[in-house]
Structure 1
Amino acid sequence: MQIETDVAIVGAGPAGLFAAFECGMLRLECVLIDALSEAGGQCVALYPEKPIYDIPAHPAIEAGDLVASLERQLAPFAVPRLLGRRVESLSGLRGAFRLRTDAGDEVAAKAVIIAAGAGAFGPNRPPLEGIESFESTGAVQYFVRRRESFRGRRVVIAGGGDSAVDWALSLRDVAAKVWLVHRRDRFRAAPESLDRLDRAHARGEIEKVVPYQLHGLTGENGVLSGVTVATLDGEIRTLDADRLLPFFGLATDLGPIANWGLQTGLHTLIPVTPSTLETTLPGVFAIGDVATYPGKLKLILQGFSEAAMAAHAIHPIVRPEQALHFEYSTTKGVPVA
C-alpha cells in the first residue's frame, strides 16, 4: 500500500492516538502505524482491565476504556491505520520523508512522530524447565487481560514490583488462593499498595511467600498442578497452584527505529527538545514513554501534552505558508471536512 500524508505517527498507543487527534484539530492529515494488530499499545495488549487513577476528569478508568474513549474522540477524522506492520526504514529529509514497513507499505510524509512507548516489548521469562508447555495452555501468563479468567483459580504471582503487588491485590477478590512470591521481604511497589498488601496478608487474603524464588513447575500436558519455590539456602516448598503469573518486567527494543540516525539514550529512550519534542533528526519528533528530557515524567497525561506540543511544532513544516493562530477547542470546535 502507498500512502501520502502530512504526518506519519509510529505507534498507536494512547499518546499516538491523541497525537492523531491533535493533528486533526490542526487540519493535518496523518496515518497511524503500529506493529500490534490493534490500537492501544500496552494498555490493550498488557492490562486492559487495570484501573488508571491519574487521568484528568477520571477518578479511575480501566486502560481498555481509556483507549476506547480516545478512539471515539479520534473518530471524526477517519485516520487510516497500518496495523500489524513494523516500520523497517526511514529515509529522506524534513518535509519529505519516506517510511517502509515489513509488509511492503510505503508512506510519504512531511514529518514523523514516534510514539512507540518502550518499543517492541516482551516479558522477561523465568528460566524454568518445561515452562513453554504451560505457556501454550495459559497456565503460565505474563499479563492479565481478563480478571474473570482467574475466578476460582489458585494463583502464584512472582515479583516484587508494582505489577506483582497490584495484581495480587486485584485478583484476591476472584481467585481461590493468591500467593505472592518474592526473593526478599521488601517490595518495590507504591507505599499505598504496600499498606493494602500488609492488610490483605493479615486478613489471610494473600499469602506472602518470602524470601523465596521460583524453582520449578509440576504438571502434565500443559496442566499446572504446582509451583516449586526455594530459598537461597535450598529450602524447597511446593504451592498447589494452577496458574503462575511471573512479573519480572519487560524486555524492550526500539528495533529498526534505533537505526534511523537518531541520538538514543539508555533503555531505548530518545532525547528530544522539551519545547517541541523534536529529536536530533530534524522533522522527526518523539512523544510518550520513548521520549526523554530533563524533568520528564512517564505519565500518560504527559504523553497527551507532548502530543499537542509536537502537532503544533509540526504545523509550520507541513504548512509553511500558513500562520498558525492558536485557538481553544471551545471556540473552533472539531474541524469538519
Structure 2
Amino acid sequence: MEIETDVAIIGAGPAGLFAAFECGMLRLDCVLIDALSEIGGQCTALYPEKPIYDIPGLPAVEAGALIASLERQIAPFHVRRLLDRRVEALAGTRGAFRLRTDRGDSVAAKAVIIAAGAGAFGPNRPPLAGIEAFEREGGVMYFIRRREALRGRRVVIAGGGDSAVDWALSLRDIAAKVWLVHRRDRFRSAPESLAQLDRAAGRGEIEKVVPYQLHGLSGEDGVLSGVSVATLDGEVRTLDADCLLPFFGLSTDLGPIANWGLQTGLHTLVPVTPSTLETTLPGVFAIGDVATYPGKLKLILQGFSEAAMAAHAIHPIVRPEQALHFEYSTSRGVPAA
C-alpha cells in the first residue's frame, strides 16, 4: 500500500491516539501504524479492565474504556490506520520521510511521531521450576484481560509496583483470597493507592506477605495448588492458591527503531528536546513512555501533553507558509472533515 500523509504516527496507544487528535485539530493529515492488530497498545493488549486513576476529569476509568473514548475523539478526522504492521525502515530527511513496513507498505510523511511506548514487550518471568506448565493451564498469568476470570479464585500477586498494588485492590472484591507478596514492606505506588492497600489489609480483604519472595510452585498436570514463598533467611511458607500473578515489569525492545540513527538512552529510551519533543533526528519526534528528558514522568497524562506539544512543533514543518495562531478548542471547535 502506498500512502502519502503529513504525519506518520508510530504507535496507537493512548499517546499516539491523542497525537492523532492534536494533529487533526491543526488540520494535519496523519496515519497510525502499530504492530498490534488493534489500537490501544498495552491498555488493550494487556489490561483493558485495569482501573486508571490519574486521567484529569475521570476519577477512575478502565484502560479499555479510555481507549474507546480516545477512538471516538479522533473519529471526525477519519484517521487512516496500518495495524498488524511493524515499521522496518525510515529514510529521508525533515519534510520528506519514507517509511516501509514489514508488509510492504510505503508511507511518505513530512514528519514522524514515535509513540511506541516501551516498544515490543513481554513479561519478566520469575525463575521458578516448572512454571511453563502452569502458564499453559492458566495458573500463572502475567496479564489480566478479564477480572471475571479470577472470580472465586485464590490469587497470589507478586511485586511491589503500581501493577501489583492496583490489581490487589481491584481483585479484592471478586477473588476468594488475595495475597500480596513483596520482598519488603514498602511498595512503589501512588500514596492514595498505598493508603487504600493499608485499609484493605486492615479489614482482611488483602493479606500482605512481607518480606517474602517467590520460592516455588506446586500442583499436578499444570493445575496450580500452592505457591511457596521464602524470606531471605530461608523461612518458607506455602500459600494454598490456584493462581499466581507475577508483576515484575516488562522486557522491552525498540526493534528496528533503535537502528534509525536516533540517539538512544538507558532502557531503549529516546532523548528529546523538552520544548518540542524532537529527537536528535530532525523531523522525528518522540512522545509517551519512549521519550525521555529531565523531569519526565511516565504518566499517560504527560504523554497527552507531549502529543499536543509535538503536533504544534510539527505544524511549521508541514505548513511552512502558514502561521499558526494558538486557539483553545472551546473557541474553535473540532474542524470539519
Which of the five TM-score ranges fits, normalised by the shorter chain? over 0.9
Query: What residue ranges of structure 2 are gaps of 5+ in the alignment?
Result: none
Instruction: For 1:304, give the aligned amino acid.
Output: F
Structure 1 residues 260-299: aligned runs within 5 Å: 260-299=260-299
1:259 aligns with 2:259: yes
What's the TM-score, normalizing by structure 1? 0.95
**Against the structure 1 CA distance between its residues 153 and 321, is the aligned structure 2 distance closer, same or farther, given a 3 Å change threshold?**
same
Note the C-alpha offset of 1:116: 1.0
Identify the residue that residue 126 of structure 2 maps to in structure 1: 126
1:62 aligns with 2:75: no
Q: How many residues align?
A: 337
Note the C-alpha offset of 1:125: 0.4
Note the C-alpha offset of 1:181: 1.4
Identify the residue that residue 168 of structure 1 maps to in structure 2: 168
Identify the residue that residue 152 of structure 2 maps to in structure 1: 152
Structure 1 residues 1-337: aligned runs within 5 Å: 1-337=1-337
Q: Deviations along 1:176-225, whole A, 9 cap, x unmatched?
A: 01111122233223333333323322322222222222122122332211
Q: Deviations along 1:45-93, whole A, 9 cap, x unmatched?
A: 2222222222222122221111111100101111111112111111111
After alignment, is 203-212 or 7-16 more displaced? 203-212
Query: What residue ranges of structure 1 are gaps of 5+ in the alignment?
Result: none
Mapped partners of 1:231, 1:51: distance in 2: 31
Mapped partners of 1:277, 1:222: distance in 2: 48
Q: CA RMSD in A?
A: 1.6
Mapped partners of 1:309, 1:199: distance in 2: 40
What's the TM-score, normalizing by structure 2? 0.95
Note the C-alpha offset of 1:14: 0.8
Mapped partners of 1:163, 1:260: distance in 2: 32
Mapped partners of 2:174, 2:252: distance in 1: 31
Q: Deviations along 1:14-64, whole A, 9 cap, x unmatched?
A: 110011111111221111011112111122222222222222221222211
**Against the structure 1 CA distance between its residues 69 and 217, is the aligned structure 2 distance closer, same or farther, given a 3 Å change threshold?**
same
**Against the structure 1 CA distance between its residues 278 and 231, is the aligned structure 2 distance closer, same or farther, given a 3 Å change threshold?**
same
Mapped partners of 1:325, 1:294: distance in 2: 28
SS across alignment from 1:110: strand
Q: Deviations along 1:98-137, whole A, 9 cap, x unmatched?
A: 1111222211111100011122221110011221222122
